Amino acid sequence: MTGVQTVEQLRTVLKEKFYDVMIFKPNQSFEGFISNISNQLKEIMGVKLSKIYLLNESTQHYQLFSTQSDYPVKKVAYTAQEFEKLIQENGTDYPNGDDLFFKPVSCTSTVLIPLHMEKENDGFILFLLDEETPYHHSFFNETVEQTSKIIQKMNEYFQSINEETKYERLYQVTSKFYSTMNIEDVLREVIRTLKDLYTKLDFHLLLTQDNLQIEDLPINELPYDKHEKDAGTTAFLTGQIQFEDMSDHISSLYAPLVGRQGTYGVLQVLKPKHLFFQENDIEFISILAKTAGNALENAQLHQQSRRHITDLQLINQSSQTLNSKQTLSDTFSYLEDLMMSTFKAEEVGFILYDEKQQDWNKYRVLNESTSFFFTEEGEWFLSFLNKKIEQKVYTIFIGDFNNNDADMDIPYKSVMAVPMIHDEKVIGLVMVLHPNEYFFSFETYKLLQSLVQHSALTVVNYRLKEELEQLVRTDYLTKLYSRNYLDKMMNKHLEVGKQGTFLLIDIDNFKQINDEYGHDVGDEIICQVAEIIRANIRSHDVAARWGGEELAIYLPNTTMVLGQHVAERLVKTVSEKTQPKVTISCGVSYWGEKFHGKSKSLFLRADQALYIAKKQGKNRVVKQTEIII
């Protein structure tokens, strides 16, 4: 010991040296102050090594604050349990029972002295002694008493200074938070404030995927879907601060960004274990995180309200546009353009199911879908989604499809699929894809649901319109076209075509059939003849019910000779395949390049030919030889 003979002398020297540390190093931090005190103790006590450990109540670890470079540190922190075990296994009491000593090995002694500040065992001083130098326990008692006093006073001083600075900054930050409704501004201010106040710490924001697209900020995705929840996830789920040892040298604090309605992320604070975290630091970070949580909530609610207004405007505009579309193709072409631009999608697909039977394997991929849906991968993908729909899984929102236990990988990770539902029946499916994982937010998915819901109504209305038009242009009994439709199609072709043949057919002795078998059988005979006609004409030919037992066929781009062959085949087939057996008579008219009339002229010529066929004995074909060629 350096010239100190009595406890009184030691007390004086300690006070003088401690005072020098306070006066001549005014800008030091609390950690620096404790390190300087430790150096002074080494010099005053004449020991080989002096270490000071203080209790961090938040982590319940005794944290090392000081060491000398000629003796490397083997352990920078002890848990309270480790400290108690250390005392129990190695300790020997001095006469007053206050000071604890133990000897590991070699010719030196290690002295472990508890510090008593606000309560017992707030920390401890560890000295490495030379056994040849005599030490009295009263010197250690005086050392720990004076050291405890100065540490407690300086801790209170630094806390008051820090609190004044921090809460002044917190006031400034709060003012900025409530002057902005921008999420990015709030997050940037949180990180800026913490970096200004805690220059030796690192900070990260753990956020859900909705807010991951902000550049130049230390943002990581919050792993809330892990099977084993870590401290960050626990902080997010519980709304409580959590601590975690990341390694032997780094520890982490997780402060949830909590608002009034929920938790919006987690602030992660990384610090070297040798840095001390006081209770007021933790309290400040917690308050800042909660303030930021409330500001984030306000900003999100503001942005959501603006987004909802924009979405409603989009839905209203798209509904008006959809209602103005004349064809199903126009409807889905518009939807494809809308979804590509609104959702920044790479692929958009549409399928419609068979409306008469809910068979999920019977669907039609619309031509307005993008190319992926017509590939082998696209076919497999549609099969995958159809199985989901069959299982009544109507919410298909996937952030990483290739991590979805699927049998095949596809080049698209973000998947949104929404069924078109009407009267509790699935009538179709709309799919939106992007190659990046977690590209779409859930807000985006909800917008897609609204758009699909409105488009489903448009599809249903279009189908109803088609059905009505079909009823108008189709005969209810035979399902052949109506006379008006035939007339319309003939006049169209007369304007653009070069030739055509018209057949007018009458069922022979039809009144006799009705009288003998009844009107139901008469209707059945008409349907049989209509079916024979359908089976003997081409897809672009137009067959219609002319009226009563009369039927008609227009054969576009067909010569008189070919038209006559068709008529003769029909006369022969009807006489062979109807039950009860009936025959038909047929009149044929024709127009060519020199014809300048309307369809009515062809009708009259065919009617004249039919009249001749009837007069000549029925069950035959007569062509009108007076047609202008």
Residues 31-70: tens digit of each pLDDT: 888 888 888 888 888 888 888 888 876 667 787 776 555 4
Backbone dihedral region of 557: left (phi > 0), alpha (psi from -120 to 50 degrees) or beta?
Answer: left
Q: Are 428 and 419 in contact (CB under 8 A)?
A: yes
Q: pLDDT value at position 386? A: 87
pLDDT, position 360: 66
Structure tokens at 525: 């005979």
Asked whether the predicted pLDDT for residue 577 surpasses 50, the reply is: yes
Phi, psi of 84 (to 5 degrees): -65, -40
Q: Which of 8-12, 242-246, 330-334, 370-374 shows the highest mean pLDDT?
A: 370-374
> Which of 46-55, 527-536, 605-614 has the least mean pLDDT?
46-55
Can you give the pLDDT at residue 100?
A: 40
Cα-trace Rg, the chain = 46
pLDDT value at residue 141: 84
Given a contact cutoff of 8 angstroms between Cβ atoms, the answer to whether 602 and 542 are in contact is no
610-616 long-range Cβ contacts below 8 angstroms, 24+ apart:
610/504, 610/505, 610/506, 610/585, 610/586, 611/587, 612/587, 613/585, 613/586, 613/587, 614/506, 614/508, 614/585
Residue 264: which of 227, 228, 231, 301 has the closest Cα?
Answer: 301
CA distances from 395 to 191, 280, 398, 418 (A): 37, 46, 9, 7
The CATH class for the domain spanning 178-302 reads alpha beta
Higher pLDDT: 253 or 226? It is 253
Contact 500, 557 (CB under 8 A): yes
Q: Which helix (H) or strand (E) holds 78?
A: strand 77-79
Query: For 612, phi and psi rounded to 5 degrees?
Result: -65, -40
* Percent of residues, the chain, with pLDDT higher than 70: 83
Select the more confidently predicted residue: 584 or 285.
584
Q: How many C-beta neighbours within 10 Å does residue 324 have?
A: 11
Quick one: pLDDT at residue 415? 92
CB atoms near residue 262 (< 10 Å): 13
Q: In 3D, which of 474, 489, 479, 462 has the Cα closest to residue 366?
A: 462
Which residue has better confidence, 621 or 69?
A: 621
Residue 86 has a pLDDT of: 64
Q: Long-range contact list for 3-6, CB < 8 A, 24+ apart?
A: 4/44, 4/139
* Amino acid in position 202: D
Distance CA 147, CA 119 (A): 14
Do β-strands 108-115 and 123-130 pair in parallel, antiparallel, or remain unpaired? antiparallel
Give the neighbor-by-neighbor strand order of the sheet with 61-64: 77-79, 61-64, 49-56, 123-130, 108-115, 100-102, 92-93
Identify each DSSP E strand in 261-361 by its residue range. 263-272, 347-353
Q: Which residues are paired to 105 by β-bridges?
A: none
Place of tokens 């009407």: 422
Q: What is the DSSP string of 207-259?
A: E-GGGTT-TTS-EEE--TT-SS--HHHHHHHH-S-EEEE-SSSEEEEEEEEE-
- Is residue 356 exposed (0-12), middle (13-18) or buried (19+ Cβ within 10 Å)? exposed
**Mean pLDDT of all residues in 106-128:** 74
Which of 82 and 603 is assigned the larger pLDDT? Answer: 603
CB within 8 Å of 246: residues ≥ 6 apart: 252, 270
Return the ∠ at Cα 250 (arms to 126 and 152), rounded to 5°. 40
Outline where 98-222 has alpha helix (H): 137-177, 183-197
Q: Give the pLDDT band (50/70/90) at residue 77.
A: low
Residue 311: which pLDDT band, with cuts at 50, 70 and 90?
confident
538 in Cβ contact with 553 (< 8 Å) = no
Residue closest to 153 by CA, chosen among 60, 255, 37:
37
Work out the pLDDT band at 259, boundaries 50, 70, 90: confident
Instruction: Flag whether pLDDT at 598 surpasses 80.
Output: yes
| Beta bridge pairs of residue 506 | 550, 585
pLDDT of residue 101: 41
Residue 391 neighbours by CB under 8 Å, 6+ apart:
none
Reported confidence tier of residue 199, pLDDT bands at 50, 70, 90: confident
Distance separating the N- and C-terminal Cα atoms of the chain: 136
Residue range 325-329: average pLDDT?
79
Q: What is the pLDDT of residue 99?
A: 40
φ and ψ at residue 333, rounded to 5 degrees? -65, -45
* Residue 498 to residues 74, 558, 561, Cα–Cα distance (Å): 102, 9, 15
Predicted local distance difference test score (pLDDT) of residue 464: 75
What is the distance between the alpha carbons of residues 418 and 7, in angstroms, rounded to a whole number?
84
* CATH architecture designation of domain 325-471: 2-Layer Sandwich (3.30)
Judge whether 576 counts as a catalytic residue: no
Rounded to 5 degrees, what are φ and ψ at 538?
-85, 165
- What distance lies between CA 341 and its chain's CA centroid? 17
123 or 121: whose pLDDT is higher?
Answer: 123
Give 600-617 as a 3 state SS string: HHHHHHHHHHHHHHHHCC
Angstrom distance (rounded) from CA 86 to CA 448:
63
Domain boundaries for CATH 3.30.450.40 within the chain: 7-159, 178-302, 325-471
Domain(s) of CATH 3.30.70.270: residues in the chain: 483-623
244 by Cβ neighbours in 10 Å (0-12 / 13-18 / 19+) ranks as middle
Answer yes or no: CATH 3.40.50.970 is held by domain 7-159. no
- What is the Cα–Cα distance from 551 to 571, expressed in whole angstroms? 13
What is the SS3 assignment for 578?
A: coil
Q: Please report where in the chains the tokens 């800026």 appear, as a residue.
A: 192
Q: 529: how many CB neighbours lie within 10 A of its CB?
A: 24
Per-residue model confidence (pLDDT) at position 629: 41
Set 16, 549, 593, 626: catalytic member: 549
Does the pLDDT of residue 72 top 60, yes or no?
no
Cβ-based neighbours of 81, under 8 Å, separated by 6 or more = none
Residues whose CB is less than 8 angstroms from the CB of residue 380 and which lie 6 or more positions away in sequence, other chains included: 407, 408, 410
Residue of 309, 351, 318 lying closest to 455 (CA atoms): 318
Which CATH architecture does the domain made up of 483-623 adopt? Answer: 2-Layer Sandwich (3.30)
